[in-house]
Amino acid sequence: MKKAILKFSAMILLLGGSVGCGNDFLDTNYFQGVDSETALNSVGNIATALNGAYYNLFTRYFAGNYAITIGDVPTDIAYWNGQTGHWDGIYTFTFTDTDLYLYYIWDYGYKVADNAARIIEAAIALYEESDDKASLDLYLAEAYALRGYAQLMLTNIFCHQIKVDGTDFSAQPGIVVIDKPIEALTQVSRSTVGQSYEAVVGDLKNALTHFTAAGGDRGELYYFNVAATYGLLARTYLYLEQWEDAADSAQAALDAKGISALAYTAADYRALYTSNANVESMYALAISATDNWSANSCGTLWSTYNFSPSPKLQALYETTDCRTAIFGWAGTSTDAVPIFTGGKYSCHSSGNSAYATNYIVNAPEMFLIIAEANVQSSTGTVAAAQQALLNVAKRNSAITSASDLPANKSDLLTFIKDERARELFQEGLRLYDLRRWNENADVYAYQAPNIAFTYTGYKISDLIFPIPSDEITAGFGVEQNEGWAATLPK
């Protein structure tokens, strides 16, 4: 079924239009001459529209590149060698409210959310009279998951982190929550960050309810499923600092996927990234040798477009760590001008990093969530945190038992923070980790192979990206993040 996600994208019956084009908040009325108000009148049409929503998620403008990349590039684990101009504004913190990466993330994130909202509305309208309720429940589950994921990403990127080391910022401006389709010329307003997160949690819980009603999911990596939905719920609860809920959801994700251990040798770890079928992943994009973003892929960014793991990140790996088995350097690479060969995007069986996929929800993150939740929660234990952490930390063969891990919560949390950097590199989560931990971060690395940063001790929890200026000037009620420029490092 992998091909179907892309094959039917040209037949999509509705498509969220350009944001801030001056006509309305979301131009969603027509696509290829088909009226989206009447098109979703059958189970088959809803299935086709759902594939279109997946395509908007898949595109390089959202989860296929930009919305993932922005979580790693402006942090301490990425390095830009200065030889090309891709992502340099974000990396050097010189971006403005006209930045195209931000524009497209906003644009396509809302396309996913709005398309999903229309699918949900149409499926509910058909439900009582349909003789194919199982299919409608499945499509509703996936649409709720799509909308939940899109709105979680939009909230994290364009709003203040909801919790920062115990401090609550839920009253800060959030996103325009798409709880139902927004019609042309409608005036809108931003919800709070807290309300935005409530919408995300609600969508993911609804997705799980409908998966149950459907009798399960498709059992395929390239469609949202029960394990991935629990995984996203665990991630969301982690950001909310609802520790017990985070741990429970993470364990439910692992149970649904049937994972209790990971790869621990260099050969087994490399095999995870040899083809687009990582057995530790719960949800991945349908990128392949025939359907990919070529020069605009993540694989190209982390190779010929000159991004690589920072010297600081490289120093966090021991020589006995199997995760360095996928690290490679081009023949023209030098210590001063490093050229990476892709990392998690480099080991595709084709040898072309552009063909490698993005793994969106993965089992190692779940073990790390359980570990951190046990450290952060007043009811958690060191022993439980160590046991969960050990599942990932054993990627370093020098660590074989819980006795090799820190024995108190403070030191264990420090280890978990470094382990998340090591394990989740290139998965687009580092920025939100640094912000929620209230780290005094080092950003804009330079002078490789030395560990050196242009900005040190940066209060990165303050960082807020601007809403794209085209959206603001469209005049439909979306207000700018006041004072966003003052949150940049100086």
Q: Do the Cβ atoms of 238 and 248 come closer than 8 Å?
A: no
Lowest mean per-residue pLDDT among 14-28, 201-215, 264-278, 319-333: 14-28
What is the tens place of the pLDDT at every residue in 462-472?
999 999 999 99
According to DSSP, residue 477 is labeled S
Q: How far apart are CA 389 and CA 384, in angstroms?
A: 9
Give every CB contact of residue 76 below 8 A, 6+ residues apart in sequence.
310, 312, 313, 421, 430, 434, 441, 442, 443, 445, 453
Give me the pLDDT at residue 206, please.
Answer: 98
- Overall average pLDDT of the 117-139 stretch: 97
Q: How far apart are CA 25 and CA 478, in angstroms?
A: 9
Q: How far apart are CA 197 and CA 143, in angstroms?
A: 17
What is the tens place of the pLDDT at every residue in 417-469?
999 999 999 999 999 999 999 999 999 999 999 999 999 999 999 999 999 99
pTM, to two decimals: 0.94
Closest-CA residue to 312 (of 488, 120, 448, 489): 448
Q: Is it the case that residue 274 has pLDDT exceeding 60?
A: yes
Q: Is it the case that residue 6 has pLDDT exceeding 70?
A: no
Q: Is CATH 1.25.40.390 correct for 2-267+361-487? A: yes
Give me the pLDDT at residue 166, please.
Answer: 98
**89 phi/psi in degrees, rounded to 5:** -65, -40
Q: Which comes out higher in pLDDT, residue 157 or 26? A: 157
Neighbours of 311 (CB within 10 A): 19
- Overall average pLDDT of the 394-412 stretch: 98
> What string of DSSP letters covers 31-44?
ETTEEHHHH--SHH
Strand partners, 30: 35
- Overall average pLDDT of the 166-172 stretch: 98
Termini Cα distance of the chain: 49
Give me the pLDDT at residue 183, please.
Answer: 82
> What string of DSSP letters covers 217-228?
----TTS--HHH
And the tokens for 243?
């520790």
Give me the pLDDT at residue 184, please.
Answer: 76
- Overall average pLDDT of the 298-306 stretch: 97
Q: Is it the case that residue 385 has pLDDT exceeding 50?
A: yes
And the tokens for 334?
């030098």
Q: Do the Cβ atoms of 277 and 202 come closer than 8 Å?
A: no
Q: How far apart are CA 402 and CA 385, in angstroms?
A: 9
Closest-CA residue to 326 (of 361, 289, 291, 353): 353
Domain ranges of the chain: 2-267+361-487
